[in-house]
Amino acid sequence: MGNRDALKTALSTIIDNAVKFTAEKGHVIIKMYSENEFLIISITNSFDKLSAEDLAKIFEPFFRTEQSPAAGSGLGLAIAKKIVERHGGSIKAGNSEEGLQIEVGLPMTGER
Ligand SMILES: Nc1ncnc2c1ncn2[C@@H]1O[C@H](COP(=O)(O)OP(=O)(O)OP(=O)(O)O)[C@@H](O)[C@H]1O
Ligand SMILES: [Mg+2]
């Protein structure tokens, strides 16, 4: 249950980032699975590890890391976070072996 257009905006924002921040010959890995009544969508792209400070701020409006290789206003992830949270879900960012990972968890049942 959810707002189709809003969820589409949230996911396409995250995927757009993954594509635009990946260097040539890098990769984007998208995984989707269910876990305890939650739908987990994980989007990972090749990227150097981000500092703990950057990871903590990445969802703040207008925040962009110093190593941002592509243009942007720094709003995409802040909007995606709001949309996910309005659906009772959560979003987090972390470094993984494969690069920067953004993980969205959305409840598969319940209120809109
Ligand atoms: N997939 C990613 N790989 C590497 N860095 C990322 C990734 N996603 C986000 N970031 C970092 O987090 C910052 C914030 O992302 P966000 O999507 O909010 O802004 P943006 O892409 O710069 O601009 P906008 O989305 O508003 O056009 C980015 O500028 C970049 O520094
Ligand atoms: Mg963006």
Instruction: List residues, by chain if needed, whose CB lies under 5 Å from ion ligand 2.
Output: 17, 72, 76
pLDDT for residue 110 = 59
* Span from the CA of 108 to the centroid of ligand 2 (angstroms): 26
Arithmetic mean of pLDDT, 3-27: 96
Round to whole Å and give the CA distance between 92 and 108.
Answer: 18
- Name the residue of 15, 17, 42, 59 whose CB sits within 8 Å of the most ligand 1 atoms, as the mutation to test its pocket: 17
Average pLDDT value for the chain: 94
Sketch out the chain's domains with CATH numbers.
Answer: 4-107 (3.30.565.10)
pLDDT of residue 112: 47
Q: What are the CA-CA distances from residue 111 to residues 32, 36, 108 (Å)?
A: 21, 16, 10
Reported pTM = 0.94
Test site for ligand 1: of 15, 28, 68, most ligand atoms within 8 A of the Cβ: 68
Q: What pLDDT, in 10s, does the model give residues 55-71?
A: 999 999 999 998 787 88
Other C-beta atoms within 10 Å of 73: how many?
9
Q: Which of 57, 102, 107, 100 is nearest to 80 (CA)?
A: 102
What pLDDT was estimated at residue 42? 98
Cβ pair 18, 10 in contact under 8 A: no
Please tell me the distance between residue 110's alpha carbon and the centre of ligand 1 in angstroms.
30
The one-letter amino acid code at 66 reads E
Rounded to an integer, what distance in angstroms lies between the CA atom of residue 75 and that of residue 62?
Answer: 5
Instruction: Return all residues near 68 (Cβ < 8 A) that are at least 6 apart.
Output: 21
Give dist(CA 40, CA 60) in Å, integer. 22
